């Protein structure tokens, strides 16, 4: 494979030496991301393209949809989450319902791609070796941005093609707008990656900027029903709705994307050309000369606490947002029989508010499954990066070493779910007890997923990353499974499908206890596997 990469490279002459090797680096990036990129693009596109079917099930007639749009216009908390609705056509409702989320996911994908192929490479020391070849100073950044462009271009193409049935120009606008937001954050990540020495920090900072952009748009949209707020115009996430896909497209808004991408790209290029490889513009602070860490548990906590704090804050914010739209959402579906039916099928029993709360807390539970997988797989990261080996060469048994990380993973998942539920209760303003109960009841399912991750890591270390697939499948089943009317046999594969839908439904202990036992059994089996196997070098 390396042979193909190197032979594809032909040195250029003249003034473009700064970009020498870009083609080879781009091929390397695409080769390394051959699984990751199609997965990201495919999932985001599927999310968008499956939306007309789901909405058509919920709002069958044009009259239903017109009524929905009318109510949406008057509901500021829903506008804050999804943005305003500009057209009651099916396409217009799709753009309203999923546009902001597709854009946010495209932005996350893009910033991860760019940091992964710039700062990550430098931090790991791999860039040094690459740059000792005929690779120009700005080639790595160019290749990373081109890789992001390839991903966003494919996304735009899939969205345009998949929604063309709702109107070609609207589909094109939604596709280009989604990709545009992606590229704005790709170039933003390119700047941030020049500023910090740590790839993790670069991802976190750019993610924070994305969160700020989302909040600005949400505030703007909650203030104005037609997206005319200055706050919406300031946020790149808001530009997508300004494009007015499926509602008399305003093509000139694309110039905003082009302008922002060009300016940010130019700044990143300027910085990249001026700085030393591996160095950054922000200095790193020295640490302590002595340490208090003395146990493997303390080390695990130290290594994972930053990530846990980030997840907790995210869950708190998401909880408050979910809680805030609960009243409006329940009012909204109140008059629509078909929607009521769907919402009830998705989780509710008596009382639409309870059903909505149950669905939102259930969503937090499924997202917590992503946290627990990430946290459990920190063991795998430590082992494959050879940091586990010297720790285990001390008086630390494998089970104790793993136990520290697992305590953070399993305890941390409980913490974020509780924090998220508290957020929901705070945003909704009542029902603290029932909402907290609804949160706690998610934990056995989260832990079962965590147990599956431990088993994969302990028994089949090479297949450990497949735990992401498990969590992803559960998320897809839970999120769009009911709307796609998947058969029960498939829905039942997810542990979350078996939980009592609190609040609203009666508490049912057997599934909770059985899932807890399954989780404990999987963890135990994983630890037995870990004790028996060779450590990977």
Q: Tell me whether residue 42 or residue 291 sits nearer to another protein (CB atom).
A: 291
- Residues that bind another protein (rule: CB under 8 A) add up to a total of 38
Q: Is residue 537 involved in binding another protein (CB under 8 A)?
A: yes
Q: Least CB distance from residue 396 to another protein, whole Å?
A: 5
Say if residues 452 and 467 touch (Cβ distance below 8 Å).
yes
Count the Cβ atoms, other than its own, within 10 Å of residue 200: 14
Nearest approach in angstroms of CB 380 to another protein is 15
DSSP one-letter code for 496: G
Our CB check for another protein shows the closer of 79 and 117 to be 117
- Is residue 263 near another protein by the rule CB under 8 A? no
72: Cβ–Cβ under 8 A, 6 or more apart, which residues?
A: 78, 79, 84, 85, 96, 332
Q: Where does this chain touch another protein (CB under 8 A) — which range of 15-23, 171-179, 282-290, 505-513?
A: 282-290
Write b or e for each residue in 440-476: b if 16 or more Cβ atoms lie within 10 A of its Cβ, otherwise e: bbbbbbbbbbbbbbbbbbbbebeebeebbebbeebbb
Is the CB of residue 502 less than 8 Å from the CB of residue 438? Answer: yes
Give the separation between CA 301 and CA 311, rounded to whole angstroms: 14
Phi-psi region of 295 (alpha: psi -120 to 50; beta: other; left: phi over 0): beta
Write down the least CB distance from residue 397 to another protein, Å.
4
Among 299, 370, 419, 474, binds another protein (CB under 8 A): 299
Considering beta carbons, is residue 258 or 279 the nearer one to another protein? 279
Query: Nearer to another protein by C-beta: 278 or 351?
Result: 278
H-assigned helices in 275-387: 296-334, 337-346, 352-376, 378-384
53 or 278: whose CB is closer to another protein? 278
Q: Which is nearer to another protein, 295 or 492 (CB)?
A: 295
For another protein, which stretch binds (CB under 8 A), given 12-20, 101-109, 195-203, 331-339? Answer: 195-203
Q: How far is the CB of 119 from another protein (least distance, A)?
A: 11
Report the site for another protein in 381-440 (rule: CB under 8 A): 385-387, 389-397, 400
Where in 88-127 is the site for another protein (CB under 8 A)? 123
61 sits near another protein (criterion: CB under 8 A)? no
First to last CA, the chain: 23
Q: Of the candidates 291, 411, 429, 521, which one interacts with another protein according to CB under 8 A?
A: 291
Q: Does 307 bind another protein (CB under 8 A)?
A: no
Q: What is the DSSP string of 95-155?
A: HHHHHHHHHHHHHHHHHHHHHHHTHHHHHHTHHHHHHTSS--TTHHHHHHHHHHHHHHHHH
Binding site for another protein (CB under 8 A): 123, 197-198, 200, 284, 286-296, 299, 302-303, 306, 385-387, 389-397, 400, 532-535, 537
């Amino acid at each position: 494979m390396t042979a193909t990469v190197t032979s594809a490279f032909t040195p250029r002459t003249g003034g473009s030496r700064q970009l020498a090797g870009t083609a080879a680096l781009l091929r390397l990036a695409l080769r390394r991301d051959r699984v990751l990129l199609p997965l990201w693009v495919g999932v985001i596109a599927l999310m968008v393209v499956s939306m007309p079917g789901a909405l058509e099930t919920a709002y069958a007639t044009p009259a239903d949809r017109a009524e929905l749009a009318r109510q949406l216009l008057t509901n500021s908390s829903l506008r804050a989450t999804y943005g305003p609705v500009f057209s009651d056509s099916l396409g217009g409702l799709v753009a309203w319902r999923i546009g902001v989320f597709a854009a946010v996911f495209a932005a996350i994908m893009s910033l991860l791609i760019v940091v992964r192929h710039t700062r990550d490479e430098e931090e790991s020391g791999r860039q040094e070796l690459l740059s000792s070849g005929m690779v120009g100073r700005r080639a790595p950044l160019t290749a990373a941005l081109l890789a992001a462009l390839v991903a966003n271009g494919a996304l735009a193409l899939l969205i345009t093609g998949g929604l063309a049935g709702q109107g070609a120009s609207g589909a094109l606008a939604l596709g280009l707008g989604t990709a545009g937001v992606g590229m704005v954050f790709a170039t933003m990540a390119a700047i941030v990656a020049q500023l910090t020495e740590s790839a993790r920090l670069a991802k976190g900072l750019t993610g924070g900027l994305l969160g700020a952009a989302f909040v600005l748009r949400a505030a703007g949209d909650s203030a104005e029903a037609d997206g005319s707020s200055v706050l919406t115009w300031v946020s790149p996430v808001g530009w997508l709705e300004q494009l007015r896909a499926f509602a008399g497209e305003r093509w000139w808004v694309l110039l905003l994307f082009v302008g922002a991408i060009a300016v940010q790209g130019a700044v990143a290029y300027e910085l990249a050309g001026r700085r030393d490889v591996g160095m950054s513009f922000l200095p790193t602070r020295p640490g302590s000369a002595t340490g208090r860490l003395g146990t493997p548990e303390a080390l695990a906590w130290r290594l994972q606490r930053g990530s846990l704090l980030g997840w907790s804050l995210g869950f708190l914010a998401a909880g408050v947002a979910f809680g805030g739209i609960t009243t409006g959402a329940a009012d909204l579906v109140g008059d629509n029989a078909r929607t009521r039916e769907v919402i009830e099928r998705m989780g509710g029993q008596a009382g639409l508010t309870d059903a909505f709360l149950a669905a939102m807390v259930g969503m937090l539970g499924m997202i917590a499954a992503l946290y627990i997988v990430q946290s459990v797989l920190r063991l795998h990261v430590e082992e494959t990066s050879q940091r586990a080996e010297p720790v285990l060469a001390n008086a630390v048994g494998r089970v104790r070493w793993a136990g520290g990380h697992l305590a953070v993973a399993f305890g941390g998942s409980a913490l974020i779910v509780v924090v998220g539920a508290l957020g929901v209760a705070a945003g909704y303003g009542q029902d603290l007890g029932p909402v907290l109960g609804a949160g706690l009841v998610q934990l056995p399912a989260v832990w079962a997923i965590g147990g599956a991750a431990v088993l994969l890591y302990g028994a089949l270390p090479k297949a450990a990353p497949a735990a992401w697939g498990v969590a992803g499948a559960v998320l897809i089943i839970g999120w769009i499974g009911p709307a796609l009317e998947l058969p029960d046999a498939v829905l039942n594969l997810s542990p979350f499908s078996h939980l009592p839908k609190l609040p609203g439904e009666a508490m049912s202990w057997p599934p909770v206890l059985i899932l807890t036992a399954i989780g404990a059994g999987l963890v135990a089996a994983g630890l037995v596997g870990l004790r028996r196997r060779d450590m990977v070098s």
